Protein backbone atom coordinates (compact mmCIF):
# COMPACT_ATOMS: atom_id res chain seq x y z
CA UNK A 1 0.00 0.00 0.00
CA UNK A 2 1.46 3.38 -1.02
CA UNK A 3 1.52 6.25 1.46
CA UNK A 4 1.61 9.95 0.60
CA UNK A 5 4.15 11.32 3.08
CA UNK A 6 2.96 14.90 2.56
CA UNK A 7 -0.62 13.97 3.45
CA UNK A 8 0.58 12.14 6.55
CA UNK A 9 2.66 15.15 7.61
CA UNK A 10 -0.29 17.45 7.02
CA UNK A 11 -2.50 15.28 9.23
CA UNK A 12 0.12 15.34 11.98
CA UNK A 13 0.51 19.11 11.65
CA UNK A 14 -3.25 19.64 11.83
CA UNK A 15 -3.46 17.49 14.94
CA UNK A 16 -0.58 19.28 16.68
CA UNK A 17 -1.87 22.72 15.74
CA UNK A 18 -5.34 21.86 17.03
CA UNK A 19 -3.93 20.41 20.24
CA UNK A 20 -1.87 23.49 21.03
CA UNK A 21 -4.67 25.85 20.06
CA UNK A 22 -7.03 24.20 22.54
CA UNK A 23 -4.84 23.11 25.44
CA UNK A 24 -1.60 25.04 25.33
CA UNK A 25 -2.70 28.55 24.45
CA UNK A 26 -0.24 29.86 27.05
CA UNK A 27 2.52 29.03 24.56
CA UNK A 28 1.58 31.47 21.77
CA UNK A 29 5.04 31.63 20.20
CA UNK A 30 5.19 27.86 19.80
CA UNK A 31 1.63 27.78 18.46
CA UNK A 32 2.49 30.55 15.99
CA UNK A 33 5.53 28.65 14.71
CA UNK A 34 3.58 25.42 14.34
CA UNK A 35 0.86 27.17 12.36
CA UNK A 36 3.43 28.77 10.03
CA UNK A 37 5.18 25.41 9.58
CA UNK A 38 1.84 23.80 8.76
CA UNK A 39 0.97 26.51 6.22
CA UNK A 40 4.38 26.22 4.55
CA UNK A 41 3.86 22.48 4.30
CA UNK A 42 0.48 22.98 2.64
CA UNK A 43 1.98 25.44 0.16
CA UNK A 44 4.78 22.98 -0.69
CA UNK A 45 7.54 25.55 -0.21
CA UNK A 46 11.13 24.76 0.76
CA UNK A 47 13.01 26.99 3.21
CA UNK A 48 16.59 27.61 2.12
CA UNK A 49 19.66 29.56 3.20
CA UNK A 50 22.58 31.00 1.30
CA UNK A 51 25.62 32.49 3.04
CA UNK A 52 28.75 34.30 1.94
CA UNK A 53 31.29 36.33 3.89
CA UNK A 54 29.39 35.84 7.14
CA UNK A 55 26.08 37.17 5.80
CA UNK A 56 23.13 34.77 5.50
CA UNK A 57 19.91 35.17 3.53
CA UNK A 58 16.86 33.05 4.32
CA UNK A 59 14.13 32.48 1.75
CA UNK A 60 11.66 29.91 0.59
CA UNK A 61 11.01 28.77 -2.93
CA UNK A 62 8.66 26.61 -4.90
CA UNK A 63 9.29 25.15 -8.33
CA UNK A 64 12.50 25.38 -10.30
CA UNK A 65 13.90 27.96 -12.74
CA UNK A 66 12.85 27.13 -16.29
CA UNK A 67 12.15 28.72 -19.62
CA UNK A 68 9.85 31.30 -18.05
CA UNK A 69 10.89 34.09 -15.67
CA UNK A 70 11.13 33.47 -11.94
CA UNK A 71 9.16 35.61 -9.47
CA UNK A 72 10.96 37.30 -6.55
CA UNK A 73 8.66 38.62 -3.80
CA UNK A 74 9.64 41.22 -1.17
CA UNK A 75 7.58 41.63 2.01
CA UNK A 76 6.69 44.67 4.11
CA UNK A 77 8.31 46.23 7.17
CA UNK A 78 8.52 43.97 10.25
CA UNK A 79 6.93 41.07 8.36
CA UNK A 80 8.86 38.23 6.72
CA UNK A 81 8.61 35.86 3.77
CA UNK A 82 5.57 34.14 5.30
CA UNK A 83 3.50 37.24 4.48
CA UNK A 84 3.10 35.80 0.97
CA UNK A 85 1.75 32.37 1.99
CA UNK A 86 -1.91 33.30 1.46
CA UNK A 87 -1.23 34.70 -2.02
CA UNK A 88 1.10 32.02 -3.35
CA UNK A 89 -1.47 29.38 -2.46
CA UNK A 90 -3.22 30.57 -5.61
CA UNK A 91 -0.22 30.48 -7.94
CA UNK A 92 0.30 27.60 -10.41
CA UNK A 93 2.81 25.13 -9.02
CA UNK A 94 5.02 25.34 -12.11
CA UNK A 95 5.86 29.04 -11.64
CA UNK A 96 9.23 29.39 -9.90
CA UNK A 97 8.60 31.52 -6.79
CA UNK A 98 11.18 32.95 -4.41
CA UNK A 99 10.02 34.74 -1.24
CA UNK A 100 12.90 36.41 0.59
CA UNK A 101 13.40 37.51 4.18
CA UNK A 102 14.46 41.13 3.67
CA UNK A 103 17.73 42.36 5.23
CA UNK A 104 17.47 42.07 9.01
CA UNK A 105 14.02 40.46 8.87
CA UNK A 106 13.01 36.88 9.58
CA UNK A 107 16.03 34.57 9.53
CA UNK A 108 18.20 36.79 7.33
CA UNK A 109 21.26 38.23 9.10
CA UNK A 110 20.38 41.14 11.39
CA UNK A 111 23.14 43.70 11.98
CA UNK A 112 22.54 46.98 13.78
CA UNK A 113 25.74 48.41 12.32
CA UNK A 114 24.38 48.13 8.76
CA UNK A 115 22.42 50.81 6.91
CA UNK A 116 18.82 50.02 5.99
CA UNK A 117 17.91 52.83 3.61
CA UNK A 118 15.94 51.82 0.53
CA UNK A 119 19.02 52.04 -1.67
CA UNK A 120 21.17 50.05 0.78
CA UNK A 121 18.53 47.32 1.00
CA UNK A 122 18.16 47.21 -2.79
CA UNK A 123 21.92 46.72 -3.11
CA UNK A 124 21.81 43.96 -0.49
CA UNK A 125 19.02 42.19 -2.35
CA UNK A 126 21.10 42.44 -5.52
CA UNK A 127 23.78 40.45 -3.67
CA UNK A 128 21.19 37.75 -2.97
CA UNK A 129 20.11 37.75 -6.62
CA UNK A 130 23.69 37.30 -7.77
CA UNK A 131 24.54 34.66 -5.17
CA UNK A 132 21.54 32.56 -6.23
CA UNK A 133 22.06 33.29 -9.93
CA UNK A 134 18.46 34.46 -10.06
CA UNK A 135 19.38 37.09 -12.65
CA UNK A 136 20.67 34.53 -15.11
CA UNK A 137 17.70 35.88 -17.00
CA UNK A 138 15.35 38.75 -16.07
CA UNK A 139 12.72 38.01 -13.41
CA UNK A 140 9.38 39.39 -12.25
CA UNK A 141 9.95 41.49 -9.12
CA UNK A 142 7.04 41.95 -6.70
CA UNK A 143 7.03 44.08 -3.55
CA UNK A 144 4.40 45.18 -1.04
CA UNK A 145 4.64 48.27 1.18
CA UNK A 146 8.32 48.65 2.21
CA UNK A 147 9.11 45.77 -0.14
CA UNK A 148 7.42 47.71 -2.94
CA UNK A 149 9.53 50.78 -2.29
CA UNK A 150 12.71 48.71 -2.39
CA UNK A 151 11.52 46.77 -5.45
CA UNK A 152 11.00 50.04 -7.31
CA UNK A 153 14.44 51.30 -6.36
CA UNK A 154 15.94 47.94 -7.35
CA UNK A 155 14.29 48.09 -10.79
CA UNK A 156 15.74 51.58 -11.30
CA UNK A 157 19.25 50.57 -10.19
CA UNK A 158 19.39 47.19 -11.97
CA UNK A 159 17.07 47.47 -15.00
CA UNK A 160 18.59 44.48 -16.82
CA UNK A 161 17.55 42.17 -13.95
CA UNK A 162 13.84 42.94 -14.11
CA UNK A 163 11.44 41.97 -16.90
CA UNK A 164 8.30 42.95 -14.97
CA UNK A 165 7.64 44.95 -11.81
CA UNK A 166 4.63 44.81 -9.48
CA UNK A 167 4.37 47.47 -6.77
CA UNK A 168 1.71 47.05 -4.08
CA UNK A 169 1.02 50.25 -2.09
CA UNK A 170 4.69 51.32 -1.77
CA UNK A 171 5.90 54.19 0.42
CA UNK A 172 8.70 56.51 -0.68
CA UNK A 173 6.54 58.93 -2.67
CA UNK A 174 5.93 62.64 -2.19
CA UNK A 175 2.19 62.57 -1.58
CA UNK A 176 0.12 65.71 -1.84
CA UNK A 177 -2.42 64.11 0.50
CA UNK A 178 -1.19 63.02 3.92
CA UNK A 179 -2.94 60.56 6.17
CA UNK A 180 -3.00 60.91 9.93
CA UNK A 181 -0.69 57.90 10.03
CA UNK A 182 1.94 59.69 7.95
CA UNK A 183 1.69 62.75 10.19
CA UNK A 184 2.37 60.49 13.17
CA UNK A 185 5.44 59.10 11.43
CA UNK A 186 6.78 62.61 10.76
CA UNK A 187 6.58 63.34 14.47
CA UNK A 188 8.32 60.06 15.25
CA UNK A 189 11.33 60.98 13.11
CA UNK A 190 12.16 63.49 15.82
CA UNK A 191 12.08 60.82 18.52
CA UNK A 192 13.79 57.51 19.26
CA UNK A 193 10.97 56.37 21.54
CA UNK A 194 9.93 53.09 19.94
CA UNK A 195 7.04 52.63 22.40
CA UNK A 196 4.96 55.21 20.52
CA UNK A 197 5.73 53.87 17.04
CA UNK A 198 2.65 52.19 15.54
CA UNK A 199 4.88 50.07 13.28
CA UNK A 200 7.15 48.74 16.04
CA UNK A 201 4.76 46.54 17.95
CA UNK A 202 5.35 45.85 21.63
CA UNK A 203 1.88 45.08 22.96
CA UNK A 204 -1.16 43.10 21.84
CA UNK A 205 -3.17 46.32 21.77
CA UNK A 206 -0.68 47.89 19.36
CA UNK A 207 -0.93 44.80 17.18
CA UNK A 208 -4.71 44.97 17.13
CA UNK A 209 -4.62 48.69 16.34
CA UNK A 210 -2.26 48.15 13.40
CA UNK A 211 -4.41 45.36 11.96
CA UNK A 212 -7.50 47.55 12.26
CA UNK A 213 -5.65 50.33 10.47
CA UNK A 214 -4.14 48.13 7.77
CA UNK A 215 -7.11 45.90 6.92
CA UNK A 216 -10.39 46.99 5.33
CA UNK A 217 -12.45 44.74 7.56
CA UNK A 218 -10.30 43.17 10.26
CA UNK A 219 -11.26 39.55 10.67
CA UNK A 220 -11.67 38.04 14.09
CA UNK A 221 -8.15 38.25 15.44
CA UNK A 222 -6.70 35.00 16.79
CA UNK A 223 -5.21 36.39 19.98
CA UNK A 224 -2.79 33.50 20.49
CA UNK A 225 -1.34 33.86 17.00
CA UNK A 226 -1.05 37.62 17.44
CA UNK A 227 0.74 37.08 20.76
CA UNK A 228 3.05 34.57 19.08
CA UNK A 229 3.81 37.03 16.28
CA UNK A 230 4.69 39.70 18.86
CA UNK A 231 6.78 37.34 21.00
CA UNK A 232 8.91 36.42 17.98
CA UNK A 233 9.56 40.07 17.09
CA UNK A 234 9.78 41.74 20.51
CA UNK A 235 13.46 40.80 21.08
CA UNK A 236 14.37 42.61 17.85
CA UNK A 237 12.75 45.97 18.59
CA UNK A 238 16.12 47.76 18.39
CA UNK A 239 16.58 46.52 14.84
CA UNK A 240 13.08 47.51 13.76
CA UNK A 241 13.60 51.00 15.17
CA UNK A 242 16.95 51.26 13.36
CA UNK A 243 15.40 50.07 10.09
CA UNK A 244 12.45 52.43 10.44
CA UNK A 245 14.67 55.45 11.13
CA UNK A 246 16.94 54.61 8.19
CA UNK A 247 14.03 54.12 5.80
CA UNK A 248 12.40 57.41 6.82
CA UNK A 249 15.59 59.47 6.98
CA UNK A 250 16.01 62.49 4.69
CA UNK A 251 18.32 60.36 2.55
CA UNK A 252 15.80 57.58 2.04
CA UNK A 253 12.21 58.66 2.63
CA UNK A 254 11.56 59.66 -1.01
CA UNK A 255 13.87 57.16 -2.68
CA UNK A 256 11.12 55.69 -4.83
CA UNK A 257 9.98 59.13 -5.96
CA UNK A 258 13.57 60.05 -6.82
CA UNK A 259 14.05 56.89 -8.90
CA UNK A 260 10.62 56.15 -10.37
CA UNK A 261 11.32 57.87 -13.70
CA UNK A 262 14.31 55.54 -14.16
CA UNK A 263 12.13 52.42 -14.07
CA UNK A 264 12.14 50.81 -17.52
CA UNK A 265 10.35 47.51 -16.88
CA UNK A 266 6.61 47.18 -17.53
CA UNK A 267 5.10 48.07 -14.18
CA UNK A 268 1.92 47.06 -12.39
CA UNK A 269 0.65 49.30 -9.59
CA UNK A 270 -1.86 47.85 -7.13
CA UNK A 271 -3.44 49.92 -4.36
CA UNK A 272 -6.36 49.44 -1.99
CA UNK A 273 -8.98 52.16 -2.31
CA UNK A 274 -9.41 52.09 1.46
CA UNK A 275 -5.72 52.30 2.38
CA UNK A 276 -5.46 54.33 5.61
CA UNK A 277 -1.70 53.95 5.90
CA UNK A 278 -0.59 55.39 2.54
CA UNK A 279 -2.96 57.53 0.53
CA UNK A 280 -4.19 55.81 -2.66
CA UNK A 281 -3.22 58.91 -4.67
CA UNK A 282 0.26 57.36 -4.72
CA UNK A 283 -0.92 55.12 -7.56
CA UNK A 284 -1.39 58.11 -9.88
CA UNK A 285 1.95 59.61 -8.84
CA UNK A 286 3.70 56.42 -9.91
CA UNK A 287 1.66 55.94 -13.06
CA UNK A 288 2.45 59.46 -14.27
CA UNK A 289 6.19 58.86 -13.86
CA UNK A 290 6.59 55.27 -15.05
CA UNK A 291 6.04 55.17 -18.81
CA UNK A 292 4.90 51.58 -19.26
CA UNK A 293 2.57 51.16 -16.29
CA UNK A 294 -0.93 50.03 -15.40
CA UNK A 295 -2.98 50.74 -12.28
CA UNK A 296 -5.39 48.50 -10.38
CA UNK A 297 -7.40 50.08 -7.55
CA UNK A 298 -8.99 47.42 -5.35
CA UNK A 299 -12.41 47.86 -3.79
CA UNK A 300 -12.86 47.00 -0.11
CA UNK A 301 -9.11 46.75 0.40
CA UNK A 302 -6.79 48.39 2.88
CA UNK A 303 -3.01 48.60 3.09
CA UNK A 304 -2.32 44.91 3.71
CA UNK A 305 -3.41 43.92 0.21
CA UNK A 306 -2.32 40.27 0.23
CA UNK A 307 -4.14 39.75 3.54
CA UNK A 308 -7.30 41.66 2.59
CA UNK A 309 -7.57 40.42 -1.01
CA UNK A 310 -5.24 37.42 -1.50
CA UNK A 311 -7.18 35.88 -4.39
CA UNK A 312 -7.73 39.15 -6.27
CA UNK A 313 -4.13 40.29 -5.87
CA UNK A 314 -2.83 36.86 -6.94
CA UNK A 315 -5.03 36.94 -10.05
CA UNK A 316 -3.77 40.41 -10.97
CA UNK A 317 -0.14 39.37 -10.47
CA UNK A 318 -0.62 36.27 -12.61
CA UNK A 319 -2.41 38.14 -15.38
CA UNK A 320 0.39 40.68 -15.48
CA UNK A 321 3.02 37.93 -15.47
CA UNK A 322 1.18 36.26 -18.33
CA UNK A 323 0.92 39.44 -20.41
CA UNK A 324 4.54 40.52 -19.93
CA UNK A 325 6.51 37.33 -19.40
CA UNK A 326 4.94 35.00 -21.92
CA UNK A 327 2.56 32.09 -21.98
CA UNK A 328 1.73 31.00 -18.45
CA UNK A 329 -1.07 28.70 -17.42
CA UNK A 330 -3.22 31.16 -15.49
CA UNK A 331 -5.17 28.47 -13.64
CA UNK A 332 -5.63 29.47 -10.01
CA UNK A 333 -4.86 26.68 -7.56
CA UNK A 334 -7.21 26.16 -4.65
The predicted pLDDT at position 331 comes to 42
CATH 3.40.50.1820 matches 44-325: yes
Q: Which residue has the higher pLDDT, 52 or 4?
A: 52
Is the pLDDT at 13 greater than 70? The verdict is no
Identified catalytic residue from 161, 246, 275, 308: 275
The predicted pLDDT at position 15 comes to 52
145 among known catalytic residues: yes
Mean per-residue pLDDT for 183-191?
A: 66
Is the pLDDT at 328 greater than 50? The verdict is no
Identified catalytic residue from 75, 140, 257, 303: 303
> pLDDT class for 2, splitting at 50, 70, 90?
very low
94 among known catalytic residues: no
Identified catalytic residue from 61, 70, 78, 145: 145
Mean per-residue pLDDT for 203-213?
A: 83
87-96, 141-150, 175-184, 306-315 — which one is most confidently predicted on average?
141-150
- In angstroms, the CA 245 to CA 265 distance is 29
The predicted pLDDT at position 201 comes to 75
The domain ranges of the chain are: 44-325
236 among known catalytic residues: no
The predicted pLDDT at position 36 comes to 87
* 3-class SS string, the chain: CCCCHHHHHHHHHHHHHHHHHHHCCCCHHHHHHHHHHHHHHHHCCEEEEEEECCEEEEEEEECCCCCCCCEEEECCCCCCHHHHHHHHCCCCCCCCEEEECCCCCCCCCCCCCCCCCHHHHHHHHHHHHHHCCHHHCCEEEEEECHHHHHHHHHHHHCHHHEEEEEEECCCCCCCCCCCHHHHHHHHHCCCCCHHHCCCCCCCHHHHHHHHHHHCCCCCCCCHHHHHHHHHHHHHHHHHHHHHHHHHCCCCCCCHHHHHHHHCCCCEEEEEECCCCCCCCCHHHHHHHHCCCEEEEEECCCCCCHHHHCHHHHHHHHHHHHHHHHCCCCCCCCC
- Taking CA atoms, 291 is separated from 122, 233, 286, 287, 295, in Å, by 22, 39, 9, 7, 12
- Residue pair 122/157 in contact (Cβ under 8 Å)? The answer is yes
In percent, the amount of the chain with pLDDT more than 70 equals: 84
pTM (2 d.p.): 0.88
Amino acid sequence: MAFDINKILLMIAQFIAGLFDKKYSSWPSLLFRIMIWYKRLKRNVTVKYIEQDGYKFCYFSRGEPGSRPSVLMLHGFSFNKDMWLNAIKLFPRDVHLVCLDMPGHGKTTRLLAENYTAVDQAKKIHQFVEWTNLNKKPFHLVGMSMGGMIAGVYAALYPSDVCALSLLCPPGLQHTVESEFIRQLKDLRKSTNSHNNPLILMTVQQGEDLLKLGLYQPKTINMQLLKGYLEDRRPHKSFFLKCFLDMTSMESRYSLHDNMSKIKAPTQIIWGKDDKVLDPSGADILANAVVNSQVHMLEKCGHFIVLDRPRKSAKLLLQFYHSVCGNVDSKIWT
